[in-house]
Amino acid sequence: MTAAAALADPETLINYDRPSAPCQSEAPTPASFRFFGRSVLAFVLAPSPPLSDWLSSLDAWIQRSRGALTGRPVVLDLTRLAPSEAGVQDILTTLRERKLRIISIEGVDRHWIPDDLSPLPISGRAVMSAITGRAPEPVAQAEDRAAEPASLVIDRPVRSGEAISFLDGDVTICGSVSSGAEIVAGGSVHVYGTLRGRVVAGAPDNKEARIFCRKFDAELLGIAGYYQIVEDVAPTLLGKPVAARLSNGAFILSPID
């Protein structure tokens, strides 16, 4: 789950009780408050036709690995089965009889998904195939990731309504970030233009991340789950080059000379 998704998640904890820590800009700033993002590992079951064959192999597997799926969140991928609306209900009932905890369904018309299931998880990464129990090769993957450059450079302005999410590292914008635009980065964010939108750096939990901009007029700043509303920032910083960092849960905004 990205930090942006965490912002919209109604179940996300909001801790209002943090003691107020002063921001080192000229006027004292009220406390930042913290949102928590959370990633959850879910098993994905992808039934294939004919359903009866698939169910009997599932039953055999459950028999062998008793309790392996009990109480674990399961996402149902019905792409291959392509059932009708009534079929979706039948499959759900059948699987629930086997004490499987289905949290969401993929691969069917979203309107067919019962209201008590969560909305579609968007493009979660496949981690392992639950039925065969075969794990991916984590070592190779780690090497791949280390080889990737952990930065994203955008050579144009980021417009209102655009959301850029790059959790692997720093984001550099050669242009302005408009009011109503949003940048979410795993590392630091650099804006070589006017920052008018929302920026979240260090998502989800990198407290060392910073935000830099050539001209400061942001709507919202966030670092590692701490958020700073810009109405509370000293007005003397507006329009100036500004750097923002986090110190003991408080935002420190300072002009860049």
Partner 1 sequence: MSQVIVVTSGKGGVGKTTTTAAIGASLAKIGKSVVVVDFDVGLRNLDLVLGAERRVVFDLINVVQGQANLSQALVKDKRLDTLWLLPASQTRDKDALTEGGVAKIIDELRESFDYVLCDSPAGIERGAVLAMRHADQAIIVTNPEVSSVRDSDRIIGMLDARTIRAEQGGRIDKHLLISRYDPARVTRGEMLTTEDVADILSIPLLGIVPESEDVLRASNIGMPVTMITPIGPAGIAYETAARRLTGEDVRVAVPEERTGLFDRLFGELGFGRRAAA
Stretch of residues binding partner 1 (CB under 8 A), selected from 34-42, 108-116, 178-186, 244-252: 178-186
Given the rule CB under 8 A, which of 26-34, 116-124, 175-183, 202-210 is the region that contacts partner 1?
A: 175-183
Q: How far apart are CA 175 and CA 63, in angstroms?
A: 59
Output 43 or 216, the one with its CB closest to partner 1. Answer: 216
Are 236 and 203 within 8 A, CB to CB? no
What minimum distance in Å lies between the beta carbon of 193 and partner 1? 8
The CA distance from 257 to 241, in Å, is 8
d(CA 201, CA 184): 6
Q: Look at the block and give the residue holding tokens 């009220």.
A: 30
Q: H helices of the chain, where?
A: 3-8, 51-64, 85-97, 138-147
Q: Which stretch binds partner 1 (CB under 8 A): 24-32, 66-74, 153-161, 244-252?
A: 153-161
- Contact status, residue 107 vs residue 78, Cβ threshold 8 Å: yes
Residue 154 has which token pair? 């955008």
Examine residue 157 and tell whether it contacts partner 1 (CB under 8 A): yes
State yes or no: residue 176 binds partner 1 (CB under 8 A): yes
Contact between 43 and 131 under an 8 Å Cβ cutoff? The reply is no
Taking residues 190 to 219 in sequence order and writing x for each that binds partner 1 by CB under 8 A, - otherwise, the string is: ----x-x-----------------------
Q: Are strands 211-216 and 242-247 parallel, antiparallel or unpaired?
A: antiparallel
Interacting stretch for partner 1, rule CB under 8 A, among 42-50, 152-160, 232-240, 241-249? 152-160
Least distance (Å) between residue 240 CB and partner 1: 16
Of these, 175, 192, 207, 241, which contacts partner 1 (CB under 8 A)?
175
Q: Rank residues 6 and 184 by Cβ distance to partner 1 and give the closer one.
A: 184
Pairwise CA distance, residues 170 & 151, whole Å: 5
Binding piece for partner 1, criterion CB under 8 A, among 43-51, 72-80, 108-116, 156-164: 156-164
Token look-up 């009932």 returns 93
User: Beta partners for 220?
Assistant: 198, 229
Using CB under 8 A as the binding rule, whether residue 161 contacts partner 1 is answered as yes
| Shortest distance (Å) from residue 194 CB to partner 1 | 7
Q: Which residues bind partner 1 (CB under 8 A)?
A: 156-157, 159-162, 175-176, 178-180, 194, 196
